[in-house]
Chain A
Amino acid sequence: MIEFKLPSLGAEMDEGTLLEWKIRPGDHVKKGDVVAVVDTSKSAIDVEIWEQGTVWELLIGVKETVPVGTVIARLLEPGETPEHAAEEKQQRAAAMTPVASAGAPAPAALAGVIEARAATESRQRTSPAARKRAAELGVDLARVTGTGPQGVINRDDIERAAASNAPAKNRWTEMRHAIAAAMARSKREIPHYYLATDIPLVVLSRWLAGRNEGRSVAERMLIAVPLLKAVARALARYPEFNGHFRDGAFVPGSSVNLGVAISLRQGGLIAPAIRDVDTVGLDELMRRLVDLVARARALTLRSSEMTDATITVTNLGDQGVELVQGVIYPPQVALVGFGKITERPWVEDGRIMVAPVVTASLSADHRVSDGHRGALFLAEIARLAQDPGKLDEPAVGR
């Protein structure tokens, strides 16, 4: 039997609200299938499953809010019978009930313990009519106190809760809280250091103009794309900036998943990941970036995109500032920023010229890396940006 738990979809998430099940009992699921849509403080997220099996039971209803880690569905493993799963479920329940193993509990006491455990799992007893009414009124069952027999929530309880309900949750207020929690944690726990360097983009701009010339507008590439690619390539040589800091130690990322900071028009921001940026060509990367930005703004992202990022890149150049000193998104250990591309005086081969220049910055976790390596990492990004043709080639010598 597989217990599918509500995953954490970001550093600041502690609960989620089910918006929709994408599966029904009897459905077969495989790795990567979207099984549910869950509302977090940031956005509605398609939640994926990473095991295969057959859906057996769905344990929460639409509009129910449960803490991260709550078992929300049970699945049969390939070849497993419902009878076997039922037996396993009973064994697990018994193992989690200390009274049962202490021997000979009074039946009433045992019922009480099981009842209490059910409540802590947010599986309160709710009458079907009450559940339906709660969905209609948008009442969170986890916050309703049942007055029926054994604390069962009935229709009256729902009506009362709805009447006394605080104003509906505001997504933007919640997003603000989520950002506050993640950023406060970052500044509390991560000893940041900051570096910056100017990168001339004469070659890259010319190369991009040539590539976009004659291309229909829908096929044009943004300059952010080769810059993202340069970051991904540089990480192959400086892996201490790519990964997570967990339980007091750095865990290097097994692939380069770039979190892209995307500001939302209504305010707030979100930084979902583009996976395996080191191995894809530039056209493919552009396609993925367009898709990701569109889905981030429509608030339809997938769970893995919210948690997979191994480093974040922010591009505040569009807002007109030249230098970004970013805050690292935990548990990541670095953030690369690109400012506004402006024409500046630039000296090369003893001659002064006017060149498009971008200031690239690095915020990094001093528990994991030192400024010297950080400086080399930025220099590597600058070097790679001078050879855009090579950026488009498949990864070499990883």
Chain B
Amino acid sequence: MNDATLRQAFFATLRRIAPEVAPEELVPDRPLRDQVDLDSMDWLNFLVGLHAALGVEIPESDYAKLVTLDDMLAYLRGKLG
């Protein structure tokens, strides 16, 4: 999967939870959940959506690594190999 496809799937999933999000307005190195106002239920649904879209399973113990948009995209790239 190339980077453009990954970003597209990522933001499509995010916008199902938070339809008002404009990807270009997100600061890539600031905490994503603060910028998008994702509560724990939104976060869980977002991960469920990513799993469905990309087939990536994210264990709970990895949540701490997934703070910013950059973190998340890098993590997913790594998982998708």
Contact = CB atoms under 8 A, between A and B. Distances in A.
A217 B47 contact: yes
B41 interface: yes
Interface in B50-81: 51, 57-61
Interface in B1-58: 18-20, 37, 39-41, 44-45, 47-48, 51, 57-58
30 contacts: A212-B60, A213-B59, A213-B60, A213-B61, A214-B59, A217-B44, A217-B47, A217-B48, A217-B58, A218-B48, A218-B51, A220-B44, A222-B40, A222-B41, A223-B40, A224-B40, A263-B39, A265-B18, A265-B19, A265-B20, A265-B37, A289-B41, A290-B41, A290-B44, A290-B45, A293-B41, A294-B45, A318-B39, A318-B40, A319-B39
Contacts of B60: 209, 212-213, 220
Contacts of B41: 222, 289-290, 293
A289 B40 CA distance: 12
Contacts of B18: 265
Contacts of B20: 265
Nearest to A222: B40
Contacts of B44: 217, 220, 222, 290
A216 B57 contact: yes
B40 A217 contact: no
Interface of A: 209, 212-214, 216-218, 220, 222-224, 263, 265, 289-290, 293-294, 318-319
A162 B51 CA distance: 48
A218 B20 CA distance: 24
A222 B47 CA distance: 13
Given A217-B47, A217-B57, A318-B40, 6 more contacts: A209-B61, A213-B59, A214-B59, A216-B51, A265-B19, A293-B41
Contacts of B48: 217-218
Nearest to A289: B41
Contacts of A293: 41
A213 B57 CA distance: 12
A224 B48 CA distance: 18
A65 B51 CA distance: 44
Contacts of A290: 41, 44-45
B77 to A, nearest CB: 19
A223 B43 CA distance: 13
A88 B39 CA distance: 54
A223 B60 CA distance: 12
A318 B44 CA distance: 13
A216 B18 CA distance: 23
A308 B45 CA distance: 27
A265 B21 CA distance: 11
Contacts of B47: 217
Contacts of B51: 216-218
B47 to A, nearest CB: 5
Contacts of A212: 60
Nearest to B34: A320
A50 B71 CA distance: 52
